[in-house]
Amino acid sequence: MLFSFFFLYRVPVLVLPPIPTDASNDLMEWFDESHDVFNSLKDIMLSAYSERICRLNESAKRAGEVFWWPFTQHNLVPEETVTVIDSRCGENFSVHKVRDNEFITQQFDACASWWTQGPDAILQTELARDMGYTAARFGHVMFPENVYEPALECAELLLQGVGKGWASRTFFSDNGSTAIEIALKMAFRKFSSDHGILLDFFKNNRAEKSVELKVLALKGSYHGDTLGAMEAQAPSPYTGFLQQPWYVGRGLFLDPPTVFMCNSIWNLSLPEWLHAETVELDNTTFSSRDDIFNKHRDKSDLAGIYSSYISHKLSQNPGLKGFDHIGALIIEPVIHAAGGMHMVDPLFQRVLVNECRNHKIPVIFDEVCCGFWRLGVETTTNLLGCVPDIACFAKLLTGGVIPLAATLASKDVFDSFVGDSKLKALLHGHSYSAHAMGCAAAAKAIKWFKDPQTNPNIISEGRLLKELWDPELVQKISSHSAVRRVVTLGTIFALELEAEGSNAGYGSLYASSLIQKLRQDGVYMRPLGNVIYLMCGPCTSPEVCRQLLIKLHRRLRDFNKVEEKLVSC
Amino acid sequence: MLFSFFFLYRVPVLVLPPIPTDASNDLMEWFDESHDVFNSLKDIMLSAYSERICRLNESAKRAGEVFWWPFTQHNLVPEETVTVIDSRCGENFSVHKVRDNEFITQQFDACASWWTQGPDAILQTELARDMGYTAARFGHVMFPENVYEPALECAELLLQGVGKGWASRTFFSDNGSTAIEIALKMAFRKFSSDHGILLDFFKNNRAEKSVELKVLALKGSYHGDTLGAMEAQAPSPYTGFLQQPWYVGRGLFLDPPTVFMCNSIWNLSLPEWLHAETVELDNTTFSSRDDIFNKHRDKSDLAGIYSSYISHKLSQNPGLKGFDHIGALIIEPVIHAAGGMHMVDPLFQRVLVNECRNHKIPVIFDEVCCGFWRLGVETTTNLLGCVPDIACFAKLLTGGVIPLAATLASKDVFDSFVGDSKLKALLHGHSYSAHAMGCAAAAKAIKWFKDPQTNPNIISEGRLLKELWDPELVQKISSHSAVRRVVTLGTIFALELEAEGSNAGYGSLYASSLIQKLRQDGVYMRPLGNVIYLMCGPCTSPEVCRQLLIKLHRRLRDFNKVEEKLVSC
């Protein structure tokens, strides 16, 4: 058995001469006899090491030949800009640098690997142990009509945590996009059931659909890459014929008011439709970020303006055809992440939710990016002060180790699928639904992040993360002349660079030089056009965040100088 | 450190009295002193065991309260029918039976957990070790513009294996549905580029799309649950307004000829459009299954009939509007799995591929179910004798342990996204793209399944699995009066039960009693309406498969008797 193991894995076997048992032997003869064996061992180790370095040296080139990277124009990625990642430990990449003869250097993963990451080094070790155990114990076992411990524990933790007070069911899938598509199906069924469409459908045994369902959504929000998820987003660079030949945009898309910090002050930025309405408003600034989230704003004039605008929009026929209905509201609570790290006025979103509830329109929270402490709270219901009927989670759900998504739903939503026929059930599911490893990782991460024993950033009895970004530095950066606006909340610090024309927007390469400099400082960032951000994990220490801000601030100064030079040329 | 570990995990610490060092001591006194400690240990172990059994006993009930199972009408799943899975080892579930006081029993996972499964017990152990290692070394690191060993190894193995001879790029995603959506985007871009649509688009700087792209697909094929994937399937129980309110069916859907075994003979079943054409055909049976795949059929009259029918269809305007184009062909090669385990005549699919190529229509193979040895070959290009431009893989790709998908593409397809602008790139990607654990599992499984040293079923220099289903038993079952047709290929054995009216079709519960009996025999199956199937892994021994067939055959006999009884009543 052991021999076959060695054979299978080509484990080299070296045999030393027997060690002398005579206590008086000074072993010199034995060492002499062993010389060749030790030399062989050294050769094997050296050759393994140099093979590994060889592989790392070649890997950027080979990657460029076989990978098709997502969201990447390959023409813009020469071999020397490819990052060779040898490993990660907690928040840090170990990067192998071929050219500079530096070999391995550390870089802080400041884009949290597309916002998935959360583990510190200890949690990563814990998750590694759990992944090995769970793969050995369960591999993957199918989910429908079955139960196994990791899935049950994970579902219950979700309902007791992010779904507390409103959710009664957990539907698992693989990523944010699929979680959103499932949410849309749930919402439309609930809407059809509440508004007599379902009854009409059954009574007349219709084959053809009698209504066209649309979503109510916000401009600038992003809900994933699959076509169904894309239909819930307003036209953008992602939705054109070039990218999504089938996109039509099945929604009424409202332009939301946003908030941001500039020159140390939090400001409200109003969309065009509000300009005429709000000339009377005394003040469009806030004394602090807490002030933005304060529920006293519900009684303000602005709340009334928001409310009557939305109510007016809902009473209008949103589409061209006579049978259009708005069958769901979908929002990214508080932060429009992929849309450029915009903070939406939470008062506007709360009013929106309440108006939809009055119209019996099911409410979906897309918490794929913002859930699980990304915004400093476990779920954004805590920030918005209202709950959805359906909510989607992914990314940080597993602590950032493995893909898994969950769509949570209220009892009423679930009940609209219950009946005697299988055809009334939600006929949607992916092969690895509720896969054991994903559920085990999620269960561990959910508990880890909210326990003050494992997460030193937890305050307020597990309801809040302490402030991670040094307020003084944040204000300083927000006052920098190269910076148009700053948004900071929970694990996110984002800024938009002042830029005009082709330098602005998603396709812009304006931030590239800044990003490259910061990578040299050991900060791995990726831009969203002229928006850049730092993102840490829920357990990252405020001191680490402070160092990141200091590095960013320093490079901003240089960036400005380069820009000034360019202008003066 | 050790103490904090014990504290964190509440590991009980029991302290024994010091063991006497005097060699003459008979330890009786020491045992006496230790008595209480050993008793405490026993209590702890007993209480852990009974807690575990308690949890297992309760879990069916708790599952019914918190899960929303995919593809499941919860009203039809009473607590006592929920399967409590305590673990899996290779192809077998360990099932905890609450009611029968049997506790743990073994069941062969004969639906391969939604067709994902392939590992034998040894591969599962290997994968478990690799999962622990990879989680510790990489967790997840982001993919775009980066490279790390598991992703590189996996991409290269895919191109050298299932993509050999045609594919040049690997695009990773999370599941079959997303892999298909990516494939559609790739195909449409390639079509637009080849047919001047792209040029026209850029020249006129169009915001509006000028053409409507459709797919050419086969009736009965299934390509996943997300909306984009669904649009590529013909109307079915999955696509109605109740399930997919946005579905329109963006395709020209052809009814394909199928093949199946009945009364020990392989037959060709012709769709309606072919009846008139083929009255002249001498023979619609085959001497063997190999005969069906034989390339000599390319010269038959039937090939000519297929070809002129498809050519005619392609020359017709497929839609109502003047700007419709067929921008992609998408097929599940050989087996329509979710559509009821139908084997499509491979000659028809080959002719279809060739005709599309002549019209410069990109060809997509959906190998999500049928790839990686599911049909006895690593890729179905080996069975069909032709290659695609794009192919999708998932399910068995990771050996069945974790979700991962790959869309492979030819150089020409990739080149249609290359340019100077990011906006021309494929702007699609999921957060866990090419996650390290998935890639590591895939790399291990790909090598494991095709290596005769690890997979005893491999013959023909790694190109073929030996026959797994006993031919004599297969013929016997195909001759059974309760059986309408049998399909067997690679790891799949499927049969359709004779059924009429509401007993037939996807919503039917006709097979339920048979399935329940087989579960009592230790065979875990799930029906597709009145179609049932056995599915094993690429390494499962033919003897195990034979035992499964014997059990199925025996239960079919009883099933028939019950049916006869019902008829005579």
Task: DSSP for A434-451, please give it.
Answer: T-HHHHHHHHHHHHHHH-
Q: State which residue of chain B sits closest to A169, comparing Cα positions.
A: B66
| Identity of the residue in B63, B231, B244 whose CB atom sits nearest the CB atom of A147 | B63
Q: Looking at chain B, how many residues does it have? A: 569
pLDDT digit string, tens, across residues A67-90: 999 999 999 999 999 999 999 999
Q: State which residue of chain B sits closest to A108, comparing Cα positions.
A: B141
B68:A225 CB<8 A: no
A402:B435 CB<8 A: yes
Q: What is the pLDDT of residue B315?
A: 82
3-state secondary structure of A379: coil
Q: What is the pLDDT of residue B565?
A: 57
Interface test with B, best of A3, A242, A395, A535 (most B CBs within 10 A): A242
* Separation in Å, CA of A148 to nearest CA in chain B: 5
Q: What is the pLDDT of residue B569?
A: 46
**B127 vs A contacts (CB less than 8 Å):** 135, 139
Q: Domain ranges for chain B, please list them.
A: 2-68, 106-115+467-568, 123-450
Q: Looking at chain A, how many residues does it have? A: 569
Interface test with B, best of A160, A184, A226, A324 (most B CBs within 10 A): A226
Give the Cβ contact number of residue A99 at 10 Å: 9
- Of residues A316 and B228, which shows the higher confidence score? B228
pLDDT digit string, tens, across residues A402-454: 999 999 999 999 999 999 988 899 999 999 999 999 999 999 999 999 999 99
* CATH number listed for the domain at residues B123-450: 3.40.640.10
A-B contacts (CB, under 8 Å): 448
pLDDT digit string, tens, across residues B517-539: 999 999 999 999 899 999 999 99
Q: State which residue of chain A sits closest to B425, comparing Cα positions.
A: A73
Tell me the C-alpha to C-alpha distance, in Å, between residue B513 and each of A345, B111, B356, B562.
57, 17, 45, 10
Axis-axis angle for helices B121-137, A121-137 (nearest 10): 170
- Of residues A99 and B341, which shows the higher confidence score? B341
Alpha helices in B455-541 (DSSP H): 471-478, 512-520
**Can you tell me the distance from the alpha carbon of B563 to that of B513, in angstroms, rounded to the nearest whole number?**
11
Interface test with A, best of B225, B323, B369, B502 (most A CBs within 10 A): B225
Q: What token pair was written down for A235?
A: 């036209």
Q: Report the percent of chain B where pLDDT is more than 90.
A: 77
* Separation in Å, CA of A569 to nearest CA in chain B: 26
Tell me the C-alpha to C-alpha distance, in Å, between residue B72 and each of A168, A424, B76, B78, B535.
17, 9, 8, 12, 21
A268-278: average pLDDT? 82
A63:B426 CB<8 A: no
Selecting from 3.40.1190.20, 3.40.50.2020, 3.40.50.300, 3.90.1150.10, what CATH number does the domain B106-115+467-568 have? 3.90.1150.10
- What letter does residue A523 receive in the DSSP assignment? E
| Identity of the residue in B139, B209, B210 whose CB atom sits nearest the CB atom of A119 | B139
Interface test with A, best of B226, B444, B453, B535 (most A CBs within 10 A): B226
pLDDT digit string, tens, across residues B154-209: 999 999 999 999 999 999 999 999 999 999 999 999 999 998 887 776 666 654 56
Q: What is the pLDDT of residue B209?
A: 61
> What beta strand segments (E) does A90-141 contain?
92-97, 103-109
B423:A146 CB<8 A: no
Amino acid code (one letter) for A262: C
* Separation in Å, CA of A343 to nearest CA in chain B: 21
B426:A83 CB<8 A: no
3-state secondary structure of A313: helix
ipTM of the complex: 0.94
Instruction: Answer yes or no: is pLDDT of A240 > 90.
Output: no
CATH class of the region A174-203+215-425 = alpha beta
Q: What is the DSSP string of B422-464?
A: GGGS-----TTTT-HHHHHHHHHHHHHHH-TTT-TTEETTTTE
Which fold is adopted by the domain A107-115+467-568? Aspartate Aminotransferase, domain 1 (3.90.1150)
Q: What token pair was written down for A47?
A: 């050759």
Q: What is the pLDDT of residue A208?
A: 54
Q: What token pair was written down for A175?
A: 């990523």
Instruction: Answer yes or no: is pLDDT of A204 > 90.
Output: no
| Identity of the residue in A139, A142, A509 whose CB atom sits nearest the CB atom of B119 | A139
* Separation in Å, CA of A150 to nearest CA in chain B: 10
pTM score of the predicted model: 0.94
- For chain B positions 435-464, those within 8 Å of chain A (CB to CB) are 435, 437-438, 453-454
Burial degree of A479 (CB within 10 A; 0-12, 13-18, 19+): middle
Residue A145 confidence class, pLDDT cut points 50, 70, 90: very high
pLDDT digit string, tens, across residues B14-46: 999 998 888 888 889 999 999 999 999 999 999
Mean pLDDT of the residues in chain A:
91
**B59 vs A contacts (CB less than 8 Å):** 147, 149, 152
- For chain A positions 320-359, those within 8 Å of chain B (CB to CB) are 327
**Can you tell me the distance from the alpha carbon of B12 to that of A203, in angstroms, rounded to the nearest whole number?**
63
**A189 vs B contacts (CB less than 8 Å):** 242
Give the Cβ contact number of residue A266 at 10 Å: 21
**A434 vs B contacts (CB less than 8 Å):** 67
* Separation in Å, CA of A178 to nearest CA in chain B: 7
Q: What is the pLDDT of residue B427?
A: 94
Residue A196 confidence class, pLDDT cut points 50, 70, 90: confident
Q: What is the pLDDT of residue A460?
A: 80
pLDDT digit string, tens, across residues B473-513: 999 999 999 999 999 999 999 999 999 888 887 777 889 89
Contact A465, A376 (CB under 8 A): yes
Instruction: Answer yes or no: is pLDDT of B560 > 60.
Output: yes
Q: Report the percent of chain B where pLDDT is more than 70.
A: 92
**Can you tell me the distance from the alpha carbon of B118 to that of B98, in angstroms, rounded to the nearest whole number?**
28
Instruction: Answer yes or no: is pLDDT of A561 > 80.
Output: no
Alpha helices in A223-300 (DSSP H): 227-231, 272-275, 289-293
pLDDT digit string, tens, across residues A328-382: 999 999 999 999 999 999 999 999 999 999 999 999 999 999 999 999 999 999 8
Q: State which residue of chain A sits closest to B120, comparing Cα positions.
A: A139
Q: What token pair was written down for A272?
A: 């065009």
A111-131: average pLDDT? 97
Contact A232, A215 (CB under 8 A): yes
Q: What is the pLDDT of residue A423?
A: 87
- What letter does residue A225 receive in the DSSP assignment? S
Residue A403 contacts B, CB cutoff 8 Å: yes
Instruction: Answer yes or no: is pLDDT of A205 > 80.
Output: no
The torsion angles phi and psi of A441, rounded to 5 degrees, stand at -65, -45
- CA angle, A552 then A558 then A561, to 5°: 140
Amino acid code (one letter) for B131: M
Can you state the percent helix, strand and coil of chain B, rounding each to 5? 40, 20, 40
Q: What is the pLDDT of residue A289?
A: 96
pLDDT digit string, tens, across residues A281-300: 767 899 999 999 999 999 99
Instruction: Answer yes or no: is pLDDT of B563 > 90.
Output: no
Q: What is the pLDDT of residue A509?
A: 81
Q: What is the pLDDT of residue B26?
A: 85
Tell me the C-alpha to C-alpha distance, in Å, between residue A17 and each of A6, A13, A41, B171.
20, 13, 14, 52
**B131 vs A contacts (CB less than 8 Å):** 131-132, 134-135, 437
Residue B426 contacts A, CB cutoff 8 Å: yes
**B192 vs A contacts (CB less than 8 Å):** 245
A503-513: average pLDDT? 82
- For chain B positions 45-104, those within 8 Å of chain A (CB to CB) are 55, 59-60, 62-63, 66-77, 81-88, 93
Contact B190, B413 (CB under 8 A): yes
A148:B84 CB<8 A: yes
Q: What token pair was written down for A264?
A: 């140390």
**Can you tell me the distance from the alpha carbon of B229 to that of B177, in angstroms, rounded to the nearest whole number?**
6
**B244 vs A contacts (CB less than 8 Å):** 185
- Of residues B376 and A209, which shows the higher confidence score? B376
Residue A116 contacts B, CB cutoff 8 Å: yes
| Identity of the residue in B70, B403, B427 whose CB atom sits nearest the CB atom of A71 | B427
